[in-house]
Structure 1
Amino acid sequence: MQGLGNGIGSGLDINGIVKALVDAEAAPKSAQLNRLEKATTAKFSGLGQFRSALSEFQTALKDLNDPALFQKRSATSGKPDIFSVTADAKATAGNFNVQVFKLAQTSKVALAGVADPAAELGTGKLTINVGDTQLNIDVTEGNDSLTAIRDAVNAAGKESGLSASIVTDPNGAGGSRLILSSTQSGTGNDISVSVVSDDDPSALSGLAYTPPAPDADFTPTPVDPTDPMAARTISYGQDAQLAIDGIKISSATNTISDAIEGVSITLKSKQSKEDIDSQTSVSLAVAEDRAGVKSQLKKFVDAYNKMMGTVTSLTKVTKVGGEDGEPLAAALVGDASVRSFMSAIRNELGNAQGTDGMRILADLGISTQRDGTLAIDDERLDTVLKDNFEQLNGFLTGDNGLMARLNGKVDPYTQTGGILESRTTALQNTLSSVDDQREQLTLRIDKLEARLFSQFNAMDALVGQLSGTSDYLSGALSNLPGVVRQDRN
């Protein structure tokens, strides 16, 4: 129900009066709900940030509390261009001298040249052997050109690592040759081709090739100047030749993983003739992965400092407008959960446990600063990593290690159904309650507005009736005999 502006009978601004009364009734409760919603939303957001910071810190704790981190080994090569090296947990720390004489090599041959790669060579069967691997190619009518044979070899040899291509001599002397390549390295894995032709003789038979035995240096067969179209060996399959601490080793591939337990060596290039002649070796060192542990420790410190930064921003009081301004409290100022958590973490960091010489973080070179953050003394930490690597493992990892103890303080806050989740749920319920109270307030105010409009409209109608009666009586009385009207002269 609504008034009609100024009352007809009374002339009062009924709409304005009702609005003022309704606003006065709603204002206190509405302001209370707004304050509650703002404070609850701020706490909800603050707890979300706090929980996120704790989760990141907890991830760093779990990563550092991993015994496998201390079992990793680092391996370095004195000349990475000669060979690279990796090591796993099975490797034993030590130093080795490596000499690389030859790299493992794959076989590659150029079959006899033909004048036209599209010309028909005749039907039959090609058998290509690479070591113990055999590939049979059926050459049928219409698919008996050099180009068709190339495509057939590539389709059939894909899984076995055999491929074919055509190279054409632009001068025409060498013709077009089918080049066969294998990915199978090692001595004895040379490519040979035999042909069974349906027609004898045929151009297809000319593709047969058995490479001559290699010399001591596995020198490729040169081009025959008297027959430039003759087949030849471009490269022989050969083993890698190296020595580790003077022990000679042969390998069919350039990756050697069974010479030193836990160590994999990948050969990149052979040493120069001068280095081989002078018996110059390349160092190979295997050691604990100290750099990996140090990197993880730095991640732990960074995560802790980031968490501290979040806590500080959520619990500080700042003055708006300078030193004389009004104080503005962050979302979690005085929050009991934050206070209890930080107290537990600080106590655990200062809780001396372990063996002599390594009982608290400061013994590692990680100390607490005035602002509560952690800082690393790199020189001291490097000394600990060098001299007390195993002791450091026991201090940090395991059920009673520092990382597990710290995680035990964090877990009650971050786990499902934990402290922060329970508080977040309670805050969500509070926000839902605010919405319900706003709906109830709206209903109550609507009823109040309707009642006030009804009352004021009834009053306005009554005033209008009384005013009309007053006017009637005034007119009747003024017309009675003997009555002198005031407006007469």
Structure 2
Amino acid sequence: MATSTGSISTSAGPLDVATLVNQLIAVESKSKLTPLKNKESGFNTLISAYGNLKSALTTYQNALKGLTSASFSSQKTALSNAGTGTNLTTDPFSADINTDESTKVLAQKLKSAAFPTGKVFNAGDSIAIKVGTNQPTFVTLKADATLAGVRDAINASKAGVTASILTDGSGDHLVLESNTGGTANTIKITANNSLASLAYNPSGTPASTVTQIQAPRDATKAASGKYSIGVSQLAQAAKVSSAGIAPGTTFESGVLAIKTGNGSTAIIKPKTNTLTGIRDAINASEAGVNASIVNDGKNDHLVITAKDSGAANNLRITGTGNFSVFSFDPSGTVTSAGVPSTQTYGAGNLTLQVGGKAFTINPTDLDNNGSIGLNDVMKSINNANAGVTASITTDSNGDHLVLTPAGTDPVALTGTDSYAGLIGSSMGQLSKAQDAKLTIDGVSVTSPTNKVTNVISGVTLNLSKITTAADNFTLSVTNDTSGLSTAANTFVSAYNTLVKAVSAMTKQTPSTTKGEANNSAPLGAESAVKNIMSQLRSAMLGAMGDGGAMTLSQVGISFQKDGTLALDATKLTNAGNKNFEGISQLFSSENGVVTKLQKLMDNVVGDSGVLSTKTKGLQASLKVVTDQQTAVNSRLLTMKDNYTNQFNRLNVTLATMQSRQSYLTQQLAKLSK
């Protein structure tokens, strides 16, 4: 059948076919199409209104997410110095309350051994899950089930855990996570028959193939109190500098190796044999150091700094050949090769380079034993007052001349003739690898960095200066009631903003004309909206927090006649002073009001939530209406064609009759003559 276009042309005649047809179609359209268009408009209005509602609820949800446990249990620190004298140190450190992921409560998580995909567990077999001190929940398989079926049965039982499946190269694992965090909420599992391998006892007896992949942890809170703190040493990273090297110097032979702390030794392989090439090769390596070049106006110095501070991260640099000028021992000393204890020296001399100064050493028989030995060399160097102290050590390789610099300058020793074997060099030690040292209430503490974490539970100390004997610093850690007030105001404000937005979307204005219906906002008659707001209100009523110890009204938050919340700041402050921890539990514990509201909002605005379901229903209804409109329009076009054809035929008939009437009139007129 051909599709009607409603565009058949009209024939000439006494009738205005187009006008007649349009009037008839207009009547049909008004009775059939207009109601559908009104429905379409109504559905579109509701869909748009629910979109606005979702936006308002999402804004509220985001505000709730910003209210973490730290928001309602914030603490603050203050530093004071009760010392006396004129040498008092200005604040030698700052203190931060830890609020990162490491302080949050964690739930226990268990993982089973691997099962082959498709593994079947038998109907009638059972598993019992006990969380903390709760009574165990028994789960019995009603039919044979795969691991996915076991997972679904556990989740349906509401046993206080969430079950999921993790698949890796070894197979499928059942993962159970406690729904409640903290060390008091560990999981115990007993199971029988085909489910027996899922048994788990926190005590470890009997042995189980189920393993703990996340240990439970209680939230870490800073330990309130006053702490006497002194800082005797700051942590620093090892930093060394070479002697001056003339620009353009090349390094043709040898090897350079760098070792930081207990790390592996990195062999440096420069792409070019210049000092720049050495620097770039060091920085490209995994030696745990940063290298730079500093020019003193005449010569270049290679400066090497360990990336990590602390005594354990000392530097050991070994250079051979041309690279020997970059050698450095963690002790900061220069040690010669071993020589026999009977070694004597004759012709030649020594050159000792300390920083930019060179000293010529001509050893003599200072021991008056008829020859020049290593002991005479040592004394001659010390008598030169060159800024180093010479000593002798002995090991299985013989006697060694050891030079210990008094300062930070690089040291190099070279010899001629009989002294040619007494050579060695060391980069200058600009800073020594060392730990921070401090005392807290008289207890000695060391730290590899100046950021000292959790020595005081929940507090990070940022060290910057050393204290003096005249100092008497006290760190006070107290509950921050002002932070609590800020969080409570945010809680109240976010809810009130939502209430006002929803009120505007559901407002009904009484008509001023008798007999006319009230003017209603788009969502005024929507029961789903009323249910959502009712659930939110209900979630804020009654005792809450772990143990259900407090209510919102006890901390100064109450509902007003218009449905909004009001905050009594004085009552909140008094409650915080009396039971700060209780207020934190009221808002942010597992059973706290913020947690309850967050879960409720997830159910409302989530992808499968109430609003999504409602919107999908409206969109489905809208499609039905638009499909009906399409069908009606098609029928109206067909009707228009039919009417046009009918009136065209009538027009032809009338035109014929008019023609015959004219003919008869003419004939009758002739007869009368």
TM-score over 0.5 for the alignment?
Answer: yes
Residues 365-424 of structure 1, C-alpha deviation per residue, up to 9 Å, x if partnerless?
113334321122233212222311233345446676545666787777556766544443
Q: Secondary structure at the match of 1:311?
A: helix
What number of residue pairs does the alignment pair up? 453
> Residue 623 of structure 2 aligns with which residue?
432
Q: Secondary structure at the match of 1:445?
A: helix
**Aligned counterparts of 1:378 and 1:75: Cα–Cα separation in 2:** 20
**Aligned counterparts of 2:598 and 2:293: Cα–Cα separation in 1:** 65
Q: Kindly tell me: are residues 113 and 329 of structure 1, through their superposed partners in 2, closer, same or farther at Cα, counting changes over 3 Å? A: same
> Residue 239 of structure 1 aligns with which residue?
435
> Residue 167 of structure 1 aligns with which residue?
294
What's the CA shift for 1:21? 1.7
Match of 1:22 among 19, 22, 25: 25
Larger mean CA deviation between 374-383 and 397-406 belongs to: 397-406
Match of 2:319 among 181, 195, 217: 195
> Residue 146 of structure 1 aligns with which residue?
275
> Residue 456 of structure 1 aligns with which residue?
647
Q: Secondary structure at the match of 1:362?
A: helix
In the alignment, residue 379 of structure 1 is paired with which amino acid? T
**Aligned counterparts of 1:398 and 1:258: Cα–Cα separation in 2:** 23
**Aligned counterparts of 2:275 and 2:613: Cα–Cα separation in 1:** 76
**Aligned counterparts of 1:427 and 1:243: Cα–Cα separation in 2:** 68
The structure whose residues are more often helix, as a share, is: 1
Tell me if the contact between 1:74 and 1:86 (Cα under 8 Å) persists in the aligned partners: yes
Tell me if the contact between 1:4 and 1:14 (Cα under 8 Å) persists in the aligned partners: no
**1:267 and 2:391 aligned:** no
Residue segments in structure 1 that go unaligned for 5+ positions in a row: 198-202, 485-489
Match of 1:441 among 619, 623, 632: 632
> Residue 200 of structure 1 aligns with which residue?
none
Provide TM-score, normalisation by structure 2: 0.58
Residues 232-280 of structure 1, C-alpha deviation per residue, up to 9 Å, x if partnerless?
3322223322221233333332232363344432313334xxxx13123
1:86-97 to structure 2, matched below 5 A, reads: 86-87=97-98, 88=103, 89=220, 91-97=222-228
Tell me if the contact between 2:294 and 2:300 (Cα under 8 Å) persists in the aligned partners: yes
What's the CA shift for 1:183? 2.5
Q: Secondary structure at the match of 1:104?
A: coil
Q: Kindly tell me: are residues 369 and 358 of structure 1, through their superposed partners in 2, closer, same or farther at Cα, counting changes over 3 Å? A: farther
Q: Kindly tell me: are residues 412 and 90 of structure 1, through their superposed partners in 2, closer, same or farther at Cα, counting changes over 3 Å? A: closer
Q: Secondary structure at the match of 1:279?
A: coil
Match of 1:32 among 27, 32, 35: 35
Match of 2:309 among 175, 185, 192: 185
Tell me if the contact between 1:84 and 1:268 (Cα under 8 Å) persists in the aligned partners: no
**1:44 and 2:236 aligned:** no
Residue segments in structure 2 that go unaligned for 5+ positions in a row: 1-5, 80-89, 104-219, 335-387, 390-404, 412-424
In the alignment, residue 320 of structure 2 is paired with which amino acid? V
1:306-321 to structure 2, matched below 5 A, reads: 306-318=497-509
User: What do you get for the CA RMSD once the two structures are aligned?
Assistant: 4.2
Provide TM-score, normalisation by structure 1: 0.76
**Aligned counterparts of 2:599 and 2:266: Cα–Cα separation in 1:** 66
What's the CA shift for 1:313? 0.6
What's the CA shift for 1:179? 2.0
**Aligned counterparts of 2:560 and 2:536: Cα–Cα separation in 1:** 15
1:19-418 to structure 2, matched below 5 A, reads: 19-57=22-60, 69=70, 74=75, 76=77, 78=79, 82-87=93-98, 88=103, 89=220, 91-116=222-247, 118-133=248-263, 135=265, 137=267, 143-156=272-285, 159-170=286-297, 172=298, 175-187=299-311, 190-191=314-315, 193-197=317-321, 204-210=323-329, 211-212=332-333, 220-221=407-408, 232-257=428-453, 259-271=455-467, 276-281=468-473, 283-287=474-478, 294-318=485-509, 328-343=519-534, 345-346=536-537, 349=540, 351=542, 360-396=551-587, 401-402=592-593
Q: Secondary structure at the match of 2:226?
A: strand
Q: Secondary structure at the match of 2:472?
A: coil
Percent identity between the two aligned chains = 29
Larger mean CA deviation between 36-45 and 340-349 belongs to: 340-349
**Aligned counterparts of 2:290 and 2:666: Cα–Cα separation in 1:** 125
In the alignment, residue 102 of structure 1 is paired with which amino acid? Q
Tell me if the contact between 1:168 and 1:176 (Cα under 8 Å) persists in the aligned partners: yes
The structure with higher relative contact order (CA 8 Å, sep 6+) is 1
Q: Secondary structure at the match of 1:431?
A: helix
